[in-house]
Structure 1
Amino acid sequence: MNKVKKVATINDLSGVGRCSLTAAIPVLSVLGVQCCPYPTAILSCHTGFDNYTFLDITNEMISYKEAWDSLNINFDCIYSGFLGSEEQIDIVLNFVKGKEQALVVVDPVMGDNGVIYNTFTENMCSKMRYLVSIANIVTPNLTEACILTGDIYDKYNTSDEKIIEIAKKISDMGPEKVIITGIIRENKIFNFAYDKKIGEFFKVESDFNHESYSGTGDIFTSIIIGLLLNGHDLNYAIKNATDFIFKSIEFTSKFKSDSREGIMFEPCLKELILINEYKQ
């Protein structure tokens, strides 16, 4: 039997709201991959709620890394999500050093809908660009892609040609694979991918119900990682991750639940087992 792959998953832990680690852990696990949480903060619920507690554990992240290093634990993938400070980005950069064998996946969580998060400074953006430059795969939304490249965000100019241009600019920074997520065109939503190694660009679409749910990006990227680590190709991974998000949203929409609680993906997890068993 092949050994179970390990993913060091660097993100926050929110008690309520299916996002970050509470999304990554079950998704990676059902895909047969060990999710090793590397928490950056602990929240009672994510920041989209009106009231929440927030415990920053930046200092603990340093000790956490040192403990892992002392045990010579090897990871097949290092996956970073939301990072709340320059220091946390530096910790991740330092963690990646010396782990050349690991697939490095960066979801550069910096903004959405053309607006940069108010916690992000220009120095943090610069450090994030450096983190992106040493990644193998990056998964920004359009806002984050424009922040990385310096392009002006224009939700009305999302032609294939424009997205390809932005994806190639990001790839030129270093990463081999760039996935730009959540491009909305009327009643459709698209995920675009560029693979520099083979010079291939492709897009996957699904219907868009004009609802925005927390945590879909975390679930999407976790599926991509799980499928890639199990030997599936990028096109297959993106298509099935897109389909899974769509089916989970369709299921969730039946219940008129609070969108801040994320999509009700739990009943759909069994589908990931079937997806993972099929090999092209």
Structure 2
Amino acid sequence: MMEFPVRVITIAGSAAGGSAGIQADLKTFEELDAYGMSIITAIVGRHPETNKNVHLQSIEAIEAQFATAMKQVGADGVKTGMLFSKEVIEVVARLIQEKEIKTIVVDPVMIGKMNSKLLKADAIEALIHQLIPMATIITPNVPEASILLGGRELNTVDDLKQAAVDLHQLGAKNVLVKGGRLKGPAVDVLYDGTALTTFTAPRINTVNTSGAGCTYSAAITANLTKGQAVADAVGKAKSFVTTAIEHGFSYTDIVGPTYHAASRKFGEAHSIKIETLT
């Protein structure tokens, strides 16, 4: 009898260029043998005349998408990405809680790759108080961790370690602070409430990293939903995204995407150095 793949939902923005948001998530889910569904919170695409870049979906549309996915398929795990507003965060938190989905990955998308603002100021409190406490793991990058900590500067790996410990107090079971914007090797820090674990990969010399954070958190979601322990899920996800970054590309002079099929196509995966500190 066929064993069906785990069911995972991404609740995030739709990136018209295909490199980030739900597009990156769904590509990642497929590569990792998870059945992916999407709830679009906003459509991201810059209008050539008005210059408007974020086109929000209504609360009704978000509720309708979620209800349809749950009725037709159901969900074993969920990840959230760009939610943008207080109202969207509130409804997403309610919907997830009502269905008692066990694996919840919160990527607190606030700052885009080109430092674009992707979360309204009044939504940060809703994120902190309503969504983060539900999370199995949160995955902020350096700017996002800084915002969640009230603007604290994070410049070193030791800063990331302390940030992970402090962010754990917000209620998530696990905190992964991603150090991709620091200098030197790409070091991320995981804190589970007891131990700190670092994940180190070589820094890839490329600008084509659009969607890397989405891809990373989506891979963690798929791995966790399949029953992997948190540190294992993070380590394998980091290997996956590092390989995808190494083979990133661009069709134009605009920053291009990571290559989600890289591990499969090239038959390789980056080795990640993992150290647990007590």
TM > 0.5 fold call:
yes
The question of whether the paired residues in 1 share the 8 Å contact of 2:78 and 2:101 is answered with no
Q: How does 1:1-280 map to 2 (within 5 A)?
A: 2-43=3-44, 45=45, 54-58=54-58, 59-68=60-69, 71=71, 74-111=74-111, 117=117, 119-121=119-121, 123-130=122-129, 131-154=131-154, 157-160=155-158, 162-196=159-193, 199-208=194-203, 209=205, 211=207, 213-252=209-248, 258=253, 260-270=255-265
**Could you tell me which residue of structure 2 aligns to residue 278 of structure 1?**
none
8 Å Cα contact 2:13-2:82 kept in structure 1: yes
Percent sequence identity over matched residues?
Answer: 23
* Contact 1:184 1:190 (8 Å CA) reproduced: no
Q: 1:11 to 1:101 in 2, by over 3 A?
A: closer
Distance 2:19 2:168 in 1: 30
* Amino acid in the other structure paired with 2:140: P
Compute the displacement of 1:158 (Å).
1.8
SS of aligned partner of 2:169: helix
Superposition deviation, residue 237 in structure 1: 2.5
TM-score by length of 1: 0.81
SS at match of 1:152: coil
Q: How far is 1:151 from its partner?
A: 4.7
Take 1:96 and 1:74, find their aligned partners in 2: how far apart are those partners? Answer: 12
Q: Is the 8 A contact 2:142 2:181 kept in 1?
A: no
Q: 2:196 is aligned with what amino acid?
A: F
Encode CA deviations 1:31-73: one digit per residue, 9 max, x unaligned: 1211111111234x479xx96765422231133334456x385
Shift of 1:140: 0.5
SS at match of 1:111: coil
**Residue 83 (structure 1) shift:** 1.0
| Contact 2:208-2:258 within 8 A present in 1 as well | no
Say if 2:132 and 2:172, in contact at 8 Å, map to a contact too: yes
Cα pair distance change 1:169/1:26, threshold 3 Å: same
Segments of 5+ residues of structure 1 without an aligned counterpart are 276-280
The number of residue pairs the alignment matches comes to 264
1:206 is aligned with what amino acid?
A
Question: What one-letter code is carried by the residue in structure 2 that aligns with 1:28?
Answer: F
- More off after superposition, 134-143 vs 180-189: 180-189
Report the CA distance shift for 1:34/1:147 in structure 2 as closer, same or farther (over 3 A).
same
Map Cα deviations across residues 80-116 of structure 1 (whole Å, 9 max, x no partner).
1001212211120111122334211110011269x68
Pairwise CA RMSD: 3.2
Tell me the SS of whatever aligns to 1:35.
strand
Where do 5+ consecutive residues of structure 2 fail to align?
Answer: 271-278
1:260 counterpart SS class = coil
Q: 1:192 to 1:256 in 2, by over 3 A?
A: farther
Counterparts in 2 of 1:142 and 1:62: CA distance versus 1, 3 Å: same
Asked if structure 2 preserves the Cα contact closer than 8 Å seen for 1:112 and 1:144, the reply is no
Residues 17 and 261, structure 1, Cα contact 8 Å, conserved in 2: no
TM-fit CA distance, 1:9 = 0.8
**Residues 52 and 263 from structure 1, CA distance in 2 versus in 1: closer, same or farther, beyond 3 angstroms?**
farther
After superposition, what is the alpha-carbon deviation per residue over 1:224-251, rounded to whole angstroms, capped at 9, x for unaligned? Answer: 1112222322223222322232222222
Instruction: Give the whole-Å Cα distance in 2 for the aligned partners of 1:182 and 1:194.
Output: 14
TM-score normalised by L of structure 2: 0.81
